[in-house]
């Protein structure tokens, strides 16, 4: 089997099919009533005497790789974004830790990540991201960045649209498979934007050639390139990894370029 057919066969093996999609969405929807109860708890905390809405949660929706069409089997199964009203009085750190505490009370084992809280539910790995909608007719939200102890503006709708329209989703899937197999710490959105950057002005035709180009980019340029959130030019996505973490990705990519393809991705 030539390299092009081989890499397509690997992607097919790791593809999330319709049965998995249905199971993930159906199972995840079971969490929504529990999340809405947390929204009611947030509203009930205000003691100012102001008439409160029954729930600060505006919307709960699946996002991330699943919504963008770049997910693979064995990754986080689903990202759930929790959109809160801009009238929510708590600051973003309090909101984040309130959700974490609530999930603990429900006996979930939680993983406090940078902007999300990870849980396992019925064999699914689910990341929950709470965000406060900014005022006005906008989909912009403010989210907490735990590692830096600060916040940033984001727009998940722009993220989804940007990746779905990039024309590089197969290359992204291939690189995500490589990341998973080599156990790399590499946030998905950073990875997706890096693949797009690596293949800027490159042909859409050859998957294997493009995959190799991405590995070359990782090994030579990646560490020094600033990757910016397309929804917020002040949010530097490439700052989500340390110098040491980037170096490890670059070294792994360099090693992969000198190995047979079936030792790099399988």
What is the spatial distance between Cα 192 and Cα 232, in angstroms, rounded to a whole number? 16
Mean pLDDT of 59-70: 90
Confidence of residue 204 (pLDDT cuts 50, 70, 90): confident
pLDDT tier at 46, thresholds 50, 70, 90: low
Where residue 16 falls among pLDDT bands split at 50, 70, 90? confident
Query: How do the domains of the chain map onto residue ranges?
Result: 3-13+167-264, 16-161
Q: What is the pLDDT of residue 60?
A: 96
| Overall fold of domain 16-161 | Beta Polymerase; domain 2 (3.30.460)
Give pLDDT, residue 260: 96
* pLDDT at residue 48 is higher than 80: no
Domain 3-13+167-264 has CATH 3.40.50.11930: no
Q: How, if at all, do strands 150-154 and 228-229 pair?
A: unpaired
Q: How confident is the model over 220-250, as pLDDT tens digits?
A: 999 999 999 999 999 999 998 999 999 999 9
- Residue 76: the pLDDT is 67
- pLDDT at position 171 over 70: yes
Question: Binning pLDDT at 50, 70 and 90, where does residue 10 land?
Answer: very high
Name the pTM for this structure: 0.88
pLDDT score of 20: 83
**Would the pLDDT of 158 be above 90?**
yes
Average the pLDDT over 87-105 and give the result: 95
């Amino acid at each position: 089997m030539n390299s092009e057919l081989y890499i397509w066969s690997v992607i097919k093996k790791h593809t999330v099919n319709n049965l998995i999609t249905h199971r993930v969405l159906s199972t995840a929807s079971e969490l929504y009533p529990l999340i809405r109860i947390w929204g009611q708890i947030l509203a009930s905390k205000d003691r100012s005497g102001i008439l409160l809405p029954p729930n600060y949660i505006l919307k709960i929706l699946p996002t991330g790789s699943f919504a963008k069409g770049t997910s693979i089997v064995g990754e986080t199964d689903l990202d759930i974004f929790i959109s809160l009203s801009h009238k929510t009085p708590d600051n973003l750190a309090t909101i984040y830790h309130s959700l974490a505490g609530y999930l603990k009370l429900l006996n979930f084992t939680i993983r406090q990540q940078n902007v999300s809280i990870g849980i396992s539910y019925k064999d699914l790995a689910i990341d929950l991201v709470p965000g406060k909608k900014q005022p006005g007719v906008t989909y912009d939200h403010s989210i907490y960045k735990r590692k830096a102890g600060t916040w940033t503006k984001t727009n998940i709708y722009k993220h989804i649209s940007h990746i779905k329209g990039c024309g590089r989703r197969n290359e992204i899937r291939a690189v995500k498979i490589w990341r998973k197999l080599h156990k790399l710490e590499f946030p998905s959105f950073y990875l997706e934007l890096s693949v797009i950057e690596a293949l800027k002005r490159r042909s859409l035709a050859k998957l294997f050639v493009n995959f190799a180009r991405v590995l070359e980019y990782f090994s030579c340029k990646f560490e020094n390139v600033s990757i910016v959130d397309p929804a917020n030019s002040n949010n530097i996505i490439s700052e989500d990894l340390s110098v040491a973490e980037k170096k490890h990705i670059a070294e792994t990519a360099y090693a992969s370029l000198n190995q047979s393809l079936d030792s790099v991705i399988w």
